[in-house]
Structure 1
Amino acid sequence: MVKISNEVLRRIVFTNLGVKDDDVIVGPKVGEDAAIIRISDKYLAMHTDPITGAIERIGWFAINIVANDIAVRGIRPRWFLLTLLLPTDTNEDGIRKIMTDVNTALMELGGSLVGGHTEYAPGLDRVIASTTAIGVGDRYITTSDAQVGDLILVTKYVAMEGTAILASDFTNELIRRGVPKDVLDRAKDLIWNLSVVKEALELADVANAMHDPTEGGLLQGLLEIAEASGVRLRINVDGIPILPETRYLFNTLGLDPLKSLSSGMLVATIPRSVVNAVDYKLRRLGINYSIIGEVVKGEPGVDLVKDGEVLGNVSGFIEDEVMKLWHEKY
């Protein structure tokens, strides 16, 4: 899957949304992770996403990717609907493998699969899974409430999702280029770290804004926070955490990890006054984090800084490098 540009979204998609409904608190908007609908004194969070850029463990991806988008609203994902479109040669063992991974992900999240659709679709050469996640809460967080002066925090490591996909779906190419099997095995195992549900729910009472950087990677996620909030982000590039396996695979293929699928890394903007509380919360969960920058006044965008000097700035729309490579192959 390669997303259409934000400009096309604004010009064509967002201008055809049906009737205005006052109970829709957060509707379609660039950078916002899930819709928020007022139901009496509660808030319903809903999000849907297809998985088209992965082959291995697609059932695991299908549940966890959408669960993240509900959790960064500060709301626990509870109910899921799954649509599976299957190539006509998919046998029962193939379906069982997908659904076993779906069930494992649901059990870990405490979620329930409540509906969906499954069919054989002529013309497909791989499975496409599209999932909707739903949750209900007393309050919510948006991508668009980052405040000037906030610190920018990320959990875990950049491009873990992209690393796992490269290791799983490009194994032969990476081996041909000399990547050792043990590196590939560690990279594949990163798929089990793609959930941000625990840390997102833990930070829901202290963060001003939270976001789940997926396609386009960390830089696209940061841009979406900046644009949605009307602020500028100043990022210390040396502070961005990256695993050795990620660096190895991305350097081997000539890709930029900052522009690649990054599910598993939560981005949050937090007031400076809550740093100690955040440290306690995340250490209690055993989740590593890094402070990579701050929110400043200025035109919406992202400045990349090294040793106090601005290396460059990021704006516009970022095409995901792993997705681009994946579609060139498949």
Structure 2
Amino acid sequence: MGHGGGGALSAELVEHLFAPAFHNPALAEMGDSAQVTLGAARLAFSTDSFVVRPLFFPGGSIGDLAVNGTVNDLAMSGAEPAFLSCGFILEEGVQVDEVGRIAQAAGAAARHAGVQIVTGDTKVVESGHGDGVYLNTAGVGLVPEGVDIRPRRAVPGDVVIVSGPVGVHGIAVMSVREGLEFGVEIQSDCAALNGLVAAMLKVTPDVHVLRDPTRGGLATAVCEIAAAAGVGVTLQERAVPVPPEVANACAILGLDPWYVANEGKLVAFVPRAEADAVLAAMRAHPLGAGAAVIGECVPDHPGMVVARTGLGGSRVVDLPLGEQLPRIC
């Protein structure tokens, strides 16, 4: 299970097994989506599989999650998402009306994001060999001229911005899965971020890196960017927005909110000269109203992320071995 968690074990699996088998320049960038050319067009292409349990949770379902997750992977390349595929793997015995609810949710999410689901597939496995419904989605989008967003573009001096409070999705799923009550319902932040990214690029096309911190959360996303670009990153612990209900739930469960998955947030690395304008554009958008500057890229400790604590000390932020909360996306 740890190899599917987005942490160090996942990274090792990709680095030592899949990357050598599929080696090519587009894959080597290791972004949320691959950037490829087809004739004169520069495209972003992404695929993802969703095995969340339960299938419905506060704020969304596996249907919303699948569409928004793939739209967001495309948007993290600065692309304008256009077309998606959707494959259903159904377990024998799942109720048809439940599958219908999931399909309706996926269709509604696609319309809201401005994309079309244009092809798909259905497979059925024997009872006991699945968990109701698994989804796989793939998507393509057009990368605008002059936009070059990828992990290796982070450089010292870049400002690190997060689009809002972190840790919400993972705790929302865990609360309903385990029947936990925290005094207030925590709803997933599941949302399509292509509109927010478009607002940022309207201010400046020179955004260096975007990443949606899903599996492994904020900390894992920033660690992966630091390693890919070979830059140091310093985060300000108190600047990272964590909702009180998420902080309280994590304290009860023994979790670190920095490593809890999000499904409607992004992390941006932008040049310092553009940071104020990008932050203002983000805060003017409904999905970026809680945006905050949380750190910067530095020439020191290349490839490493360090957090400055509220007490004036520092600590190393590292990749988790596996995953705190499995099956949350």
Match of 1:35 in 2: 34
Match of 2:164 in 1: 156
Give the residue type in structure 1 aligned to 2:322: E
Q: How does 1:1-330 map to 2 (within 5 A)?
A: 1-3=4-6, 4-17=9-22, 20=24, 26-30=26-30, 32-54=31-53, 55-56=55-56, 57-122=61-126, 123-138=129-144, 139-170=147-178, 172=179, 174-175=180-181, 179-180=182-183, 183-184=184-185, 187-188=186-187, 190-191=188-189, 193-204=190-201, 205-286=205-286, 287=288, 288-297=290-299, 298-307=301-310, 309-323=312-326
CA distance in 2: counterparts of 1:17 and 1:83, whole angstroms: 23
Q: Which runs of 5+ in 1 are unaligned?
A: none
Tell me, yes or no, if the aligned pair for 1:232 and 1:300 is still in contact at 8 Å.
yes
Tell me, yes or no, if the aligned pair for 1:2 and 1:319 is still in contact at 8 Å.
yes
Q: Offset at 1:307? A: 4.3
Tell me, yes or no, if the aligned pair for 1:220 and 1:259 is still in contact at 8 Å.
yes
RCO higher in structure (CA 8 A, sep ≥6): 2
The runs of 4+ residues in structure 1 deviating greater than 4 Å are none
Q: Offset at 1:304? A: 1.0
Q: Offset at 1:73? A: 0.7
Total equivalences in the alignment: 309
CA distance in 2: counterparts of 1:59 and 1:87, whole angstroms: 16
CA distance in 1: counterparts of 2:11 and 2:279, whole angstroms: 35
Give the residue type in structure 2 aligned to 1:194: A
Distance 1:13 1:106, change over 3 A: same
SS of 1:114's partner is strand
CA distance in 2: counterparts of 1:167 and 1:307, whole angstroms: 29
SS of 2:67's partner is helix
Give the residue type in structure 2 aligned to 1:295: C
SS of 1:322's partner is coil
* Percent identical: 24
CA distance in 2: counterparts of 1:34 and 1:132, whole angstroms: 10
CA distance in 2: counterparts of 1:94 and 1:120, whole angstroms: 15
Q: Which runs of 5+ in 2 are unaligned?
A: none
TM-score, normalized by length of structure 1? 0.87
Q: Offset at 1:308? A: 7.6
CA distance in 2: counterparts of 1:300 and 1:308, whole angstroms: 24
Q: Offset at 1:318? A: 4.3
Q: Offset at 1:80? A: 0.7
CA distance in 2: counterparts of 1:258 and 1:320, whole angstroms: 12
Distance 1:217 1:15, change over 3 A: same
> Pairwise CA RMSD of aligned residues?
2.1
SS of 1:81's partner is strand
